[in-house]
Chains A and B, each alone.
Chain A
Amino acid sequence: MEDRRIVDLYWQRDETAIAETENKYGRFCFSIANNILRNREDAKECVNDTWLGAWNAMPPHRPEILSTFLGKITRRLSLRKWRARTAEKRGGGSMELSIEELEECIPSRQRIDEGLETAELAEIISTFLEALPPEERRVFMRRYWYFDSIRDISRRFGFGESKVKMMLKRTRDKLLICLQKEEIWV
């Protein structure tokens, strides 16, 4: 079923919208959730919560791209669950590594302004990513939006793992410079 039709079903409060969404995007959302949580049961729960979130958001929302709309909900829910689950026992996993990598992007002895809205920061990062060479941008997105492992990224793009790591390192360095220039600090 076309996305537009699925969104119409949500607006009509037709519960088949959820079945159609699950049929079309269940695997996509599960993949995102499982990349973050590495636990099938938790991932399934987040995907089910995604359908609930979509049901509650439409209407009034009418997403232009249903896949990214759902993916963002799944990502948010999964991160929230992951943070709650690991609040007291972090270290070692793929997600932790991803977070540690991102910390390199934050200007030293400074911190991202707590008052800065996530949306504003997202806008800055979007502009930064749009200016990157396509391959570099896509590898960055695979790692930090989809939370793919280095191995998965290297297989996906046909690069060696060391090349992927090097690309990510360079992109993080560039992001650090970008955030410094934007004076993203207190």
Chain B
Amino acid sequence: MKSEKLQDAIGEVKDSLIVDAETEAIGKRNGWIRWAAAAAAVVLVLTAGILYISGAIGRKANPDEKSNAVTEQDRHDEQSDAASEQDHSGPAVVFSERGLDAEYVENPAEIAVNEMPYISREEAVRNLNSAKAVLECTVEEISRIRVSEPGSDSVWFITTMTLSLNRVIRGSTEEERFRVVNAAVTNMPVDFFYYPGLEECREQMHAVFTLRELSDTDVWTIGDQEISVKELGDYSVISCLGFDGTNIQYQNYSIPLTELEN
């Protein structure tokens, strides 16, 4: 009982100490997240490079093979056809057809409850300014899938969304609707990596999204399978932020639109 009193007293310590304990983690985590991002990017680039090189060598060795090769478009069409036949049409098909164990999940917050990803204000501004476009959109559809990586403890957590444009905040676009995708990976070997804010996205939510255009060379390697990210979306979305008309908001800070580059 006496230790409970001590426990209660610790619970009532000054707010600044509570915030301070959170702040330290933010600083540490930032470095870690940057490292994870870099590692993920390296994996992506290496995989894309290897695929490109092996593809080029293959074509050189068997020039006739090209006519029989399954194009990205064919694969996309095939996936779309297969997807339309299922209740949960769309992203899970991409994985299940490759023999990967994919399941839909309702609440991403339950995936890694102790992980509180955080990006510093400076980093958020940098992200906003380096994205192809920063858009205020409405989430029309959202799907979340968990894909277990065979032969490892890694779990891929993938979110796909269809967004409809409300307003261009930075950059430009001719499109009105966007297919976007985002992924997080556990134990890979960089542990959990998640872009902030996206876990809170839900249908009919209005928010600000930062989009990066995907290319054919964007590839995820899950187990021994290569997944072209473009099968899942046309853009990767790196954040989903609040917006009050003049400020973009994320957790404890807000970024006035005036800080964004045109």
Contact = CB atoms under 8 A, between A and B. Distances in A.
Contacts of A129: 13, 17
Contacts of B12: 72, 118-119, 122
A121 B5 contact: yes
Interface in B1-27: 2-15, 17-22, 24-25
Main secondary structure of the interface of B (DSSP, over half): helix
Contacts of A68: 15, 18-19
A26 B21 contact: no
B98 to A, nearest CB: 31
Contacts of B109: 26-27, 30
A138 B21 contact: yes
B68 interface: no
**Interface size class of chain B, counting residues whose CB lies under 8 Å from the partner chain:** 35 or more
A13 interface: no
A134 B29 contact: no
A155 B191 contact: yes
Nearest to B244: A1
Interface in A20-43: 23-24, 26-28, 30-31, 34-35, 40
Interface residues of A, number: 59
Interface stretch (B150-158, B162-170, B177-185, B246-254): B246-254
Interface stretch (B43-51, B80-88, B110-118, B228-236): B110-118
30 contacts: A2-B254, A3-B252, A27-B113, A28-B116, A30-B109, A31-B113, A64-B15, A75-B11, A98-B7, A99-B3, A102-B7, A103-B2, A105-B6, A106-B3, A106-B6, A114-B5, A118-B12, A119-B12, A121-B6, A122-B10, A135-B24, A137-B20, A138-B21, A141-B13, A145-B10, A145-B17, A152-B114, A155-B191, A156-B29, A157-B25
Interface of A: 1-3, 5, 23-24, 26-28, 30-31, 34-35, 40, 64-65, 67-69, 71-72, 75-76, 79, 83, 98-100, 102-103, 105-106, 111-112, 114, 118-119, 121-122, 124-126, 129-130, 134-135, 137-138, 141-142, 144-146, 148, 152, 155-158
